[in-house]
Structure 1
Amino acid sequence: MGFDDFLPTLGEFGTYQKIICALVSTFKFPAVTNVLAIVFLATPADHWCSVSNWDTANCTGLGLNESDCAFYKKHLSIPHFVADDHTIVYDQCHKYDVSQVSFSDAMSYFAENTNQSGYHDIISCDQGFEHDRASSGLTITQSFDLVCDRKYLINLSQSLFFVGVLIGCVTFGAIADRFGRKVTLILCNIIFVLFGIGAAFSPNYITFVVMRTIEAAACFGFALTSYVIGTEFVGPSKRAFVSVMLTAVFPLGYILLTFYAYLINNWRHLLLALHLTFALYFFFYPFIPESVRWQISKGRYKEAQATVKRVAKINKVKLTDDFFYQHNFHKKRETTNPERNHDPNLIDLFRTPVLRKRMIVLIIVWMTNNLIFYGLHLSTGSFGVNIYLSFLISAVVEVVAMIICVPVIERVGRRYSLIACLTISGIASCIAIFIPVGAAKTGVAMVGKFGIAGSWAVGLIYPFEILPTVTRNVGIGICSSASRVVAIATPLMLLLYDVWAPGPLVLQTIAALVTAALCLILPETRGKKLPETLEDGETFGIKTIEDRHSMEKLPTKL
């Protein structure tokens, strides 16, 4: 018996499934808000060297008010020049060596239009930095002086965040497959709330990075596990719609983050507000079920029966007294599932030829999606508007792409929809190479982002529909982990701009088009029952009995 055999009776997408999907759809928010929060946590602002030996200068005695005093302290200690638009541009990382010059003496030299020998010596900032907080709120850039030769630490913190994501996807995926989806959700929720709040109180950069890395692991373990819970109980005819809708919630997280960041311009308060909001998820768990597919795969038939009865009651479906016996609920699984004697693991996904080929292609799809998503973001830069509007535009583009995907993947199918999305993104990246910076290049880049958003929507469905239940969470975790390796390396791609400006777009074009071709290896999964066992996964999508027998003759290695 496969679990999909129940669904026509229970309802493929009844009231119960709709409630669960509505609840777990919001579970995407911690992942998206935290992965993009660095944009607001480290907003760049003007800065210059601090001259602490002038802090106690008596400006009143020199006839200067507070504003003039601040101006002259900066003007007389920081190298500068006058730009074409007649504005004064100050050096952000160097200062004059005024250690032996008092502020009053510097003012005298300025008034007399004479130079003091010390002014000819320019040194790096050895006493910290001053930050222009009038143009931005408090950020980690200001709190930890992440400027000049320490500016790379911002990118490093984000790379380490993705290291945490990579660890979390594998670790919590395995925990979910072994101990259950619901337990994993609660564990992840506890971890990312506690460590997110801890990050808000970080006294230094190292503590901040450690807290965020651990939080990242839990956030994405939470997102992946909730996705599995939201889709495992949905029937084949509605699975694509639900999967895409759950994915479409991701860009809504942009809007949530933008709203919070617009109202809260202190990075500590922003993190606190976000994670206290996410603590509300604990009220959801009484309504979140354990995965019935997982219960069946672990032989917990009584628990699975109780869940099925609960679903039937809420969906207003009356089950016959012999419903479970009629579907051979116990014996079928016990006699046909040799995997019950051990816990399948990631090695099983690469043990047989068909699953191995498909798993490799799925990994490449996820890596390409991440490469192009971040690559297009870096290539397009800003939209020429403020950061809040940029985020909203980005969210709209992705939501539209995912909404369009729903009818397309049901009519055309998963495979050709994925190929089309990757092709659109690849062609857009190629065209963008030849367009100068400006509105036109940004428009083409948005077409590419439209394509990659659709590719993400379909790419998330595929592992769920191709991989067998017993290794599904681990398989999805591997795909996600591979994509995070690309995310970790993304800052290195910026180095290509200094060597060869079109480099990143060329890489994106090649990756998209090659991956689109590889997708021909994947089977069409529209309307198919999900594979339950490793044997189901190996024979899934093979059309004839002869093909299945010939499969056994394939070599054990690619």
Structure 2
Amino acid sequence: MDEDINIDDFLTKTGTYGWFQKRIYIFVCLVAMAACTQSFIQVFIAGQGDHWCKVSQWENDTCDFTNVSAAECRDLKRLLSTPPNKDNTLRSCTKFNLTGVELKTVYEDNATQYDVIDCDEGWYFDNSVFRSTLTEDWSLVCDDYYIPNVLQSIYMAGYFGGSIIYGSLADRFGRYYILLFCSFSAGGLGILSALSPNVYIYGVLKFLTGLSVNGSLLVGFVLGTELVPPQARVLFGVALWYACVLSYFLLPGLARIIPSWRWIIGICSSLFFTLIPGIWLISESPRWLLTKKRRQAAEKIMRKIAEMNGKELTEETYSRVKDDDKDSSETGRTTFVDLIRSPVLMAYLLCLLYNWFAQSFIYFGLSLGTASLGVSIYVSFCLSGVVEMLSFVVCIPAMNRFGRKWSTAFFLFLAGFACCATIFAPLGPIRVAVAMIGKFAISASFANIYVYSAEIFPTPLRTMCVGFCSAAARIGGVVAPLILVLERAWPSLPMICFSFSSLLAGCLVFILPETKGKRMPDTIQESIDLKKTTEKV
């Protein structure tokens, strides 16, 4: 009598890179691209360009007492109304008290005779770098300079909540419905945030958007990896991040072309609605259905997979796909309590929690900090995308050749040393080059850890555990913008934090089992046995 076969064996028989899997991944990648634009949009809609205090009584003065152009007149007004710093640069948050004093009078006299006061009439903004920002519309400068970073942290806090909520819901109710709900709600909430009348409503909507955005990304990733056999997981897992990289080229283009930050948010949010055809074209994970003992529904999707991939299988093949009846006590009712009862699995989880935290902390810190590298933010952001794309090219053969553990540890160590070297690199091309090495390494490591985590946890707990890991990553995403604010007190502090976090994460990777080529575990015991088994598919 023929032996039962695993769901991975079935997926291999129906075609590793079949049209069914490709179709699912087209939609998952579209969701990933939309999600990543939401994560990095802050760089362009909340950028803080040059600004100086308004002197409203001079607004209509054309400097007709001098022979200068309109642009030169604007610069002259700033020079005459703004006190200098010790290094002779002009201040942005104070001005001379020029109430009732004409521009011509100040031009002919010595402006330093006037008292220095805070900006009391608002600010002028230089739009040569950013055409339109919420920073300008809501005057988030000087005493409120930290608010844009706090808004990004609020958004990442929503990411944190989405990891916990939607990871658990997807394990309970399935991947399909949660993916659709998260994607459409992310699009709708994003559009609403573009209509925000003030920073408070915007912050609330960004938090809610973060909830749904991360839910769509997390559940989409898990669904995609569960529909392919082990030999295709790396390629399909990393393909998701290729789609994410497109945001590095989309956002700078939109920021240069579109004159309103609200329209930029609206267009990026509408990308989630490209999933509408997926209502009919995406299917539930048969692997999840089998663990929930819904064999009839799982077999229906398995037949669909074989049909779409052009494979003719016997009825016996479908009946031989095991649904782990021998482990029904575990797979049918596995909960977080079962995870806690397993010291080995908890050790894996704790190690991965820190790894996800550290990698997200460094990744977002380097991505959001591109404006401080000493070159055009549009150039450095696009270059960051190119570097990230190259990292995905490298991480695929690295994982396949050297395994998940060694390749992940290597990239983390490389990122740590690059962040440390950035401290000593001078502003400009040299610092950009060193920082891009760090971005290359952490991007490759981050792509690894997604695949690695999905291969360690058992099917009944996979989305929940990856959700917990993603929640830890969101804490890193929350902290990163706040750490960047501290560079005003000590410029080297952010890079020191990034470097230490990366090196420690690299050391902790060696606690984990190697999963290269091994079957995805369907039970807790199979996860525990990953370090023991040498079985390959």
Q: 1:28·1:249 contact (CA, 8 Å) conserved in 2?
A: yes
The aligned residue for residue 134 of structure 2 is 140
Structure 2 counterpart of 1:264, one-letter code: I
Structure 1 counterpart of 2:432, one-letter code: T
Structure 2 counterpart of 1:515, one-letter code: A
Q: Which moved more, 1:352-361 or 1:536-545?
A: 536-545
Q: 1:367·1:483 contact (CA, 8 Å) conserved in 2?
A: yes
Measure, in 2, the Cα distance between the counterparts of 1:400 and 1:76. 46
Show CA shifts across 1:351-372 (max 9, x none).
Answer: 2011111111111221221233
Show CA shifts across 1:1-40 (max 9, x none).
Answer: 6422322322233221122223312211122111110111
Instruction: Quote the offset at 1:98 in angstroms.
Output: 3.7
Q: How does 1:440-451 map to 2 (within 5 A)?
A: 440-451=430-441
The aligned residue for residue 548 of structure 1 is none
Q: 1:41·1:267 contact (CA, 8 Å) conserved in 2?
A: yes
Structure 1 counterpart of 2:465, one-letter code: G
Residue aligned with 1:247, SS: helix
From 289, 298, 305, give the equivalent of 1:304. Answer: 298
Structure having the higher Rg: 1
The aligned residue for residue 257 of structure 1 is 251
The aligned residue for residue 336 of structure 1 is 327
Measure, in 2, the Cα distance between the counterparts of 1:316 and 1:281. 25
Instruction: Quote the offset at 1:255 in angstroms.
Output: 1.5
What are the ranges of 5 or more consecutive residues in structure 1 without an aligned counterpart? 546-558
The aligned residue for residue 203 of structure 1 is 197
Structure 2 counterpart of 1:30, one-letter code: A
From 382, 391, 403, give the equivalent of 1:392. Answer: 382
The aligned residue for residue 102 of structure 2 is 106
Structure 1 counterpart of 2:462, one-letter code: R
| Residues 1:306 and 1:96: Cα distance change in structure 2 (over 3 Å) | same
1:46 aligned to 2:50? Answer: yes
Instruction: Quote the offset at 1:90 in angstroms.
Output: 4.4
Q: 1:350·1:359 contact (CA, 8 Å) conserved in 2?
A: no
Instruction: Quote the offset at 1:48 in angstroms.
Output: 2.4
Show CA shifts across 1:215-243 (max 9, x none).
Answer: 11111110111111111111111212221
Q: How does 1:473-488 map to 2 (within 5 A)?
A: 473-488=463-478
Q: Which moved more, 1:438-447 or 1:536-545?
A: 536-545
The aligned residue for residue 454 of structure 1 is 444
Show CA shifts across 1:15-71 (max 9, x none).
Answer: 21122223312211122111110111022233222344566x787999999949974
| Residues 1:68 and 1:280: Cα distance change in structure 2 (over 3 Å) | closer
Q: 1:379·1:505 contact (CA, 8 Å) conserved in 2?
A: no
Q: 2:420·2:499 contact (CA, 8 Å) conserved in 1?
A: yes
Aligned residue pair count: 531
| Residues 1:81 and 1:501: Cα distance change in structure 2 (over 3 Å) | closer
What are the ranges of 5 or more consecutive residues in structure 2 without an aligned counterpart? none
| Residues 1:394 and 1:270: Cα distance change in structure 2 (over 3 Å) | same
| Residues 1:470 and 1:508: Cα distance change in structure 2 (over 3 Å) | same
| Residues 1:530 and 1:68: Cα distance change in structure 2 (over 3 Å) | closer
Instruction: Quote the offset at 1:481 in angstroms.
Output: 0.8
Instruction: Quote the offset at 1:543 in angstroms.
Output: 3.6
Instruction: Quote the offset at 1:177 in angstroms.
Output: 1.1
Measure, in 1, the Cα distance between the counterparts of 2:267 and 2:107. 50
1:129 aligned to 2:123? Answer: yes
1:269 aligned to 2:273? Answer: no
Measure, in 1, the Cα distance between the counterparts of 2:207 and 2:92. 30
Measure, in 2, the Cα distance between the counterparts of 1:487 and 1:256. 21
From 78, 83, 98, give the equivalent of 2:81. Answer: 78
The aligned residue for residue 498 of structure 2 is 508
Q: 2:52·2:78 contact (CA, 8 Å) conserved in 1?
A: no
Residue aligned with 1:365, SS: helix
Q: 1:173·1:225 contact (CA, 8 Å) conserved in 2?
A: yes
| Residues 1:451 and 1:136: Cα distance change in structure 2 (over 3 Å) | closer
The aligned residue for residue 355 of structure 1 is 345
Structure 2 counterpart of 1:10, one-letter code: T
| Residues 1:160 and 1:114: Cα distance change in structure 2 (over 3 Å) | closer
Measure, in 2, the Cα distance between the counterparts of 1:544 and 1:238. 19
The aligned residue for residue 279 of structure 1 is 273
Instruction: Quote the offset at 1:81 in angstroms.
Output: 4.8
The aligned residue for residue 417 of structure 1 is 407
Instruction: Quote the offset at 1:157 in angstroms.
Output: 0.5
Residue aligned with 1:337, SS: helix
The aligned residue for residue 190 of structure 1 is 184
Structure 1 counterpart of 2:35, one-letter code: A
Q: 1:78·1:94 contact (CA, 8 Å) conserved in 2?
A: no
Q: 1:361·1:518 contact (CA, 8 Å) conserved in 2?
A: yes
Show CA shifts across 1:246-299 (max 9, x none).
Answer: 223222221122232232131011112222233222123211111111111222
The aligned residue for residue 345 of structure 1 is 335
Instruction: Quote the offset at 1:131 in angstroms.
Output: 2.6
Structure 2 counterpart of 1:292, one-letter code: P
Q: 2:83·2:96 contact (CA, 8 Å) conserved in 1?
A: no
Structure 1 counterpart of 2:196, one-letter code: S
From 523, 526, 533, give the equivalent of 1:536. Answer: 526
TM value normalised by structure 1: 0.87
1:493 aligned to 2:493? Answer: no
The aligned residue for residue 216 of structure 2 is 222
| Residues 1:261 and 1:496: Cα distance change in structure 2 (over 3 Å) | closer
Alpha carbon RMSD of aligned pairs, Å?
3.1
Measure, in 2, the Cα distance between the counterparts of 1:111 and 1:440. 42
Q: 1:421·1:454 contact (CA, 8 Å) conserved in 2?
A: yes
1:31 aligned to 2:22? Answer: no
From 503, 515, 524, give the equivalent of 1:525. Answer: 515
Residue aligned with 2:95, SS: strand
Q: 1:78·1:90 contact (CA, 8 Å) conserved in 2?
A: no
Show CA shifts across 1:84-115 (max 9, x none).
Answer: 9xxx964321233344x1xxx52463476377
| Residues 1:59 and 1:530: Cα distance change in structure 2 (over 3 Å) | closer
| Residues 1:64 and 1:419: Cα distance change in structure 2 (over 3 Å) | closer
| Residues 1:32 and 1:69: Cα distance change in structure 2 (over 3 Å) | closer
Structure 2 counterpart of 1:440, one-letter code: I
Q: 2:65·2:104 contact (CA, 8 Å) conserved in 1?
A: no
| Residues 1:323 and 1:384: Cα distance change in structure 2 (over 3 Å) | same
Structure 2 counterpart of 1:337, one-letter code: S
Q: Which moved more, 1:372-381 or 1:134-143?
A: 372-381
Q: 1:174·1:473 contact (CA, 8 Å) conserved in 2?
A: yes
